[in-house]
Structure 1
Amino acid sequence: MAEDVISARLHARVRRDFPDADVARGVVGALRVLADELANSRQDTERLLAAAVLSAAGDVDQFRAAIRLARADWRDLLMAGELGHGNWPHVLDEELGSP
């Protein structure tokens, strides 16, 4: 089986931010599609996907907006998720926990 593009710590964050199991499954599915769509960005996949989750802050409508933003310009998504600067690995660890 191929490795999941969504890390265990990002899965945990999705479950925390979106406690309804059906909603969380939908978010995870959308993240998998987004990972495929942004594969050519040459950016860290976890960083991109986490930016969508973090910018949504548990709000499904905000998550949908983050997905639209990513499709328009993934750099704007990174800024919205506060992962657009050089310290993004540290911010990601703070938000998701150490890998």
Structure 2
Amino acid sequence: MDDLISARLHERIRRDFPEPDAARGVVGALRVLGVELEDSRQSTERLLAAAVVFAAGDVERFRLAVRLARADWRDLLMAGELGHEDWPRVLDAELGPQ
């Protein structure tokens, strides 16, 4: 397990993307995206989870989420419903408690 993607986010990826190749692709893309978004000074888990939540198990929607993040990470947070002050509660609801 790597530090960039939390255990609970890995579990959500496995649930949402049950096809092993799809899950590996999502994890690989998230690792790259996490590094690219380091300068945002936001919670990495929050940003990466927003992409997974927005995708809802659809690889094409996941690709769109990555494009959104690269254009403006704030758009990704809004699309993934993690862009408001209650984002810690929403994140726990989506991924389970830490």
Counterpart of 1:34 in structure 2 is 33
Tell me, which stretches of 5 or more residues in structure 2 are unaligned? Answer: none
* Fraction of identical pairs, as percent: 74
Structure 1: distance between partners of 2:60 and 2:47 = 18
Structure 2: distance between partners of 1:49 and 1:26 = 14
Q: Partner letter of residue 62 of structure 1?
A: R
Q: Secondary structure at the match of 1:4?
A: coil
Structure 1: distance between partners of 2:18 and 2:32 = 21
Tell me, which stretches of 5 or more residues in structure 1 are unaligned? Answer: none
Counterpart of 1:7 in structure 2 is 6
Per-residue Cα deviation, 1:30-76 (whole angstroms, up to 9, x for no partner): 00000000000000000000000000000000000000000000000
Structure 2: distance between partners of 1:88 and 1:96 = 12
Q: 1:70-81 alignment to 2 at 5 Å?
A: 70-81=69-80
What is the TM-score when the length of structure 1 is the normalising length? 0.97
Residue 81 of structure 2 corresponds to residue 96 of structure 1: no
Structure 1: distance between partners of 2:55 and 2:46 = 14
Counterpart of 1:66 in structure 2 is 65
- Tell me the CA shift for residue 3 of structure 1: 4.7
Cα gap change, 1:63 to 1:86, in 2 (>3 Å):
same
Instruction: Give the superposed CA RMSD.
Output: 1.1
